[in-house]
Structure 1
Amino acid sequence: MFEQSGVLTSRQAIEQLGRSGLRRRLDRSQWRRICSGVVLTHNGPLTAGQALWVAVLLAGPTALLAGLTAAREGGLRFTGSGPIRILVDSDQQYPDLRRRLPLDMPAVVVHRTGVLPDDDRQVGRPMRTSMARSLVDAAAWARSDDEARAIIAAGCQQRRVAPAEILAVLERMQRTRRRQLIRATAVDADGGATALSEIDFIRLCRRHQLPLPDLQQRRRDRSGRLRYLDAYWRQWRLQVEVDGAHHMDVREWAADMRRQNDVWIAGDRILRFPAFLIRSRPEEVVDQVRAALRAAGWPG
């Protein structure tokens, strides 16, 4: 029972205690009946981990945590909330959960799949899909293309998955939703872009036929510290830095200025853009990058 966070099917409880033992604990309110077929080994509210077990046990023997639910269980940090996502084999019959879930349970969405090889299964408590499969499914089920790209980028940026693993899952899932978008995002991440803002920047370069920079290039500053350049055109000695919101902090701002001065002293040009500008005013970003490249000798 401890391996399931104190959530048991009625059959499991009867095997451990017998019918009379289970009935006695429920009658004395020592345990709580969650719904038909599932009990909780205390009478308090469900924890987040127990809610996952309830969803998996109700969905049937092939059920796995999936999508963002599984990815978060695997360590992914991603903002926002949503239902518990469950994946089951396409030929499995599962009950209508809407009538069985208690009031203190989050919503549960069950998806069917005919493609679930062993490589896409991750041993865990509860069982879940692998990180790569979880991210691909989460991107396919996302509310928008932007959210889908952010999910894939977050998995790669946080080193929870390698882009090649995403591409391997896509090879097995030829009909998944947003397949081309997921693939393009993983390919960009494989090229060195780790944050969504960097991936957006590379897409801008491609769309406007600018030369593609090297991404996440390692370089030591004047103090000997190893730095990573967001984008660098070595031939024209031009750097582009894409600043997230944390760069607005005073301490980050001062450190950024010191690094920018070091770049200038070393003889490189540097452009800096806030991440929101790449999405909200991409033409302005492209114009400045093009002008800087031409000033550095790019024929255009």
Structure 2
Amino acid sequence: MVPDDAAGALEWLAFEQAGVLTSAQARTVLTDGTVRGLVRSGRWRSISRGLLLAGNGRLTRDQQLWVAVLVAGAGAVLAGATAAAEAGVRGLRPEPLHVLVPAARRPGRTTLRRLPIDMAAVVLHRTSVLPAAHLQVGRPPRTTTARALVDAAGWASSPRVAQEMLAAGCQQRRVSPQELAAVLEVLPRAPRRRLIRQTVDDIAGGAQALSEIDFVRLCRRAGLPRPDLQQRRTDAAGRTRWLDAYWREWGVHAEIDGAHHMDVRQWAADMRRQNDVWTAGDRILRFPAWLVRAHPEQVADTVRRALLAAGWRPNPGDTETLDNSG
């Protein structure tokens, strides 16, 4: 007979782990025969070798996260885009599930291939650098948002996706550029380290939307002076306005329009803000985000002409060749 306190402990553990248990955990209270009987009767479900579900339904998202961590073994934590999504960063791909394990461990890939069909794919990553400061207290265990986004950027399918992830985390106020930079400092061999560092620096300078990050990089490569980003300004009616990019010395202002600027109400607000800038004597330029990405040379030429007209003079040799390779 199972003591009440032991049974209660197992019940609480199953609750904490969304019903997912290792065989070893179950057998601290139940006999092998009892466990087999629960599975044969359909009350419990065998998920994979050594992993059980204290129930018989399809795996929920929370249960899949626990399966991913438990199947990877001791020291495993949710990581990358998976951990960032759990921290509340929106717009990230829900699958596959990314798990980080200590470099000294080599989890068996056979177990991963035998996961059930209602389970998302699990991708294992190994690391030799995972300090306690990079771990988030939570269930299931995961890395901090900053470490998650740095890893996600390094594992992303393209540099563009890597930048989008970093920008999303900062724009949504889930992480700060300073936190990302601190993580990067202790990861000297992080994939795409240079790109991540540059992107974080751009975000720290105020470019919180990816189109603004593109714009700052465009200016740098074209030999144009760096604008101030997200500058606060009070309009004629006393309302606070935010300028995407502003060269205060020459009175030139550039707006980077995303998809939300197509909304009728947003369009009207944009017009009012644009009129306020014009009547104050500044020059204003408007660029759709896609143009900044697809034809940076056109945008750079327009900005250059506006700055020259306003009195700016370039330093010889500052200009790099622009293309649209991203």
Residue of structure 2 in register with 1:41 after alignment: 54
Q: Secondary structure at the match of 2:42?
A: coil
Corresponding position: 1:258 with 2:272: yes
Report 1:2-21 matches (<5 A): 2-21=15-34
Alignment partner of 1:78 out of 71, 75, 91 = 91
Alignment partner of 2:172 out of 146, 150, 158 = 158
CA contact (8 A) 2:211 2:289 kept: yes
Residue of structure 1 in register with 2:303 after alignment: 289
Alignment partner of 1:215 out of 229, 232, 238 = 229
Corresponding position: 1:273 with 2:287: yes
Residue of structure 1 in register with 2:255 after alignment: 241
Structure 1 position 130, deviation (Å): 1.0
CA contact (8 A) 2:241 2:273 kept: no
TM value normalised by structure 2 = 0.89
Residue of structure 2 in register with 1:173 after alignment: 187
Shifted more, 53-62 versus 261-270: the winner is: 261-270
Corresponding position: 1:192 with 2:206: yes
Distance 1:21 1:227 in 2: 67
Report 1:201-212 matches (<5 A): 201-212=215-226
CA contact (8 A) 2:170 2:176 kept: yes
TM value normalised by structure 1 = 0.96
Two-structure CA RMSD over aligned residues (Å): 1.3
Distance 1:285 1:99 in 2: 49
Alignment partner of 1:231 out of 229, 245, 251 = 245
Report 1:49-88 matches (<5 A): 49-88=62-101
Q: Secondary structure at the match of 1:125?
A: coil
Distance 1:94 1:119 in 2: 24
Q: Which runs of 5+ in 1 are unaligned?
A: none
Aligned residues: percent identity? Answer: 60
Shifted more, 188-197 versus 16-25: the winner is: 16-25
Question: For residues 61-109 of structure 1, what are the alpha-carbon distances to aligned partners after superposition, in whole Å with 9 as ceiling and x for unaligned?
Answer: 1100010000000111124343111000011131223332111111111
Alignment partner of 2:104 out of 75, 91, 114 = 91
Q: Partner amino acid for 1:296?
A: A
Structure 1 position 20, deviation (Å): 4.0
Q: Which runs of 5+ in 2 are unaligned?
A: 1-13, 315-326
Question: For residues 271-292 of structure 1, what are the alpha-carbon distances to aligned partners after superposition, in whole Å with 9 as ceiling and x for unaligned?
Answer: 1100000011111101111111
CA contact (8 A) 2:85 2:92 kept: no
Question: For residues 182-238 of structure 1, what are the alpha-carbon distances to aligned partners after superposition, in whole Å with 9 as ceiling and x for unaligned?
Answer: 000001111111011101000011101111111111112233222211111111111
Structure 1 position 132, deviation (Å): 1.1
Shifted more, 239-248 versus 16-25: the winner is: 16-25
